[in-house]
Amino acid sequence: MASRPPSPTKMESSATGMGYFSAPFERFIRDEASDWTGAFTLLDTMETYFDSRIDLLQRQIQKHSDRLKMKAEVALKKHAQSSDILAENFDREIRNFKLKVSGRMQSLVNSWQSAKVVRTREKVSFFFGVMSLLVSALLFGMAPEWVHVAYTIQGLYLLPLRAYTYKKRSWHYFLFDLCYYVTILNFIYIWFLPSSPTLFVACYCLSHGALASAVITWRNSLVFHDSDKVTSLFVHIYAPFTFTVIRHFYPNAQERFPALTQLPHLNPGHALLLSGIIYLHWQLLYWKFVLVDRRTKISSGQRTTSFSWLLNDKRGKIGQLLSRVTPERRAPYFMVGQFVYSILTELPAIYLLYDSPRWSGAFLILIFAVSVWNGGGYYIEVFGRKFERELEALRKELAENSNLLSMNIIASP
d(CA 206, CA 278): 9
Residue 315 has a CB neighbour count (10 Å cut-off) of 7
Give which of 280, 106, 290 is closest to 202, Cα–Cα.
280
The per-residue pLDDT string of the chain (413 residues; one tens digit each, 9 = 90 and over) reads: 444 444 444 444 444 444 444 444 444 445 544 444 444 455 555 555 555 556 666 666 666 666 766 776 766 666 656 666 656 666 676 777 667 767 766 666 665 556 566 678 888 899 999 999 999 999 999 999 999 999 999 999 999 999 999 998 889 999 999 999 999 999 999 999 999 999 999 999 999 999 999 999 888 999 998 999 999 999 999 999 999 999 999 999 999 999 999 999 999 999 999 999 999 999 999 999 888 888 888 878 788 888 778 777 767 777 778 778 888 888 888 899 899 999 999 999 999 999 999 999 999 999 999 999 999 988 888 777 777 777 787 777 777 766 665 665 555 55
* Whether residue 171 is found in the same domain as residue 228: yes
Torsion of CA 237, 243, 248, 252, to 10 degrees: 140
As a whole number of angstroms, the distance between CA 305 and CA 289 comes to: 12
Are 177 and 296 within one domain? yes
Residues 214, 91 within the same domain: no
Rounded CA separation 56/61 (Å): 9
* Residue among 343, 334, 212, 332 nearest 277 (CA): 343
Residue 31 placed within a domain: no
Query: Is 234 inside any structural domain?
Result: yes
| Three-state DSSP string of the chain | CCCCCCCCCHHHHHHHCCCCCCHHHHHHHHHHHHHHHHHHHHHHHHHHHHHHHHHHHHHHHHHHHHHHHHHHHHHHHHHHHHHHHHHHHHHHHHHHHHHHHHHHHHHHHHHHHCHHHHHHHHHHHHHHHHHHHHHHHHHHHHCHHHHHHHHHHHHHHHHHHHHHHHHHCCCHHHHHCHHHHHHHHHHHHHHCCCCCHHHHHHHHHHHHHHHHHHHHHCCCCCCCCCHHHHHHHHHHHHHHHHHHHHHHHCCCHHHHCHHHHHCCCCCHHHHHHHHHHHHHHHHHHHHHHHHHCCHHHHHCCCCCCHHHHHHHCCCCHHHHHHCCCCHHHHHHHHHHHHHHHHHHHHHHHHHCHHHCHHHHHHHHHHHHHHHHHHHHHHHHHHHHHHHHHHHHHHHHHHHHHHHHHHHHHHHCC
- The residue count for the chain: 413
Q: Considering only CA atoms, which of 89, 364, 82 is closest in space to residue 237? A: 364
Q: Are residues 363 and 340 in the same domain?
A: yes
Q: Are residues 97 and 243 in the same domain?
A: no
286 lies in a domain? yes
- Can you tell me the distance from the alpha carbon of 323 to that of 330, in angstroms, rounded to the nearest whole number? 8
Identify whether residues 73 and 166 lie together within a single domain. Answer: no
Which pLDDT score, from 0 to 100, does residue 5 have?
A: 47
- What is each CA distance from 193 to 75, 154, 197, 243, in whole angstroms? 81, 20, 9, 14
Q: What is the pLDDT of residue 8?
A: 45
Q: Does 69 map to a domain?
A: yes
**104 and 132 co-located in one domain:** no
Count of beta carbons in the 10 Å neighbourhood of residue 302:
10
The reply to whether 186 falls in a domain is yes
User: Are 297 and 151 in the same domain?
Assistant: yes
Q: Which of 113, 136, 169 is the last residue of a domain?
A: 113
pLDDT confidence of residue 81: 60
Give the rounded distance of the alpha carbon of 148 from its chain centre.
34
> What CA–CA distance (Å, rounded) separates 13 from 9?
6
In a domain? residue 57: yes
69 lies in the same domain as 177: no
Position 119 in a domain: no
Predicted local distance difference test score (pLDDT) of residue 115 = 59
Residue 242's domain comprises 128-397
- Residue 366's nearest CA partner among 155, 252, 208, 254 is 208
Same domain membership, residue 184 and residue 71 = no
Same domain membership, residue 185 and residue 54: no
Number of domains in the chain: 2
- Alpha-carbon dihedral of residues 167, 173, 174, 175, nearest 10 degrees? 70
Sign of the Cα pseudo-torsion (36, 40, 46, 47, in order) = positive
Q: Amino acid letter at 398? A: L
- The pTM (predicted TM-score) of the whole model is 0.69
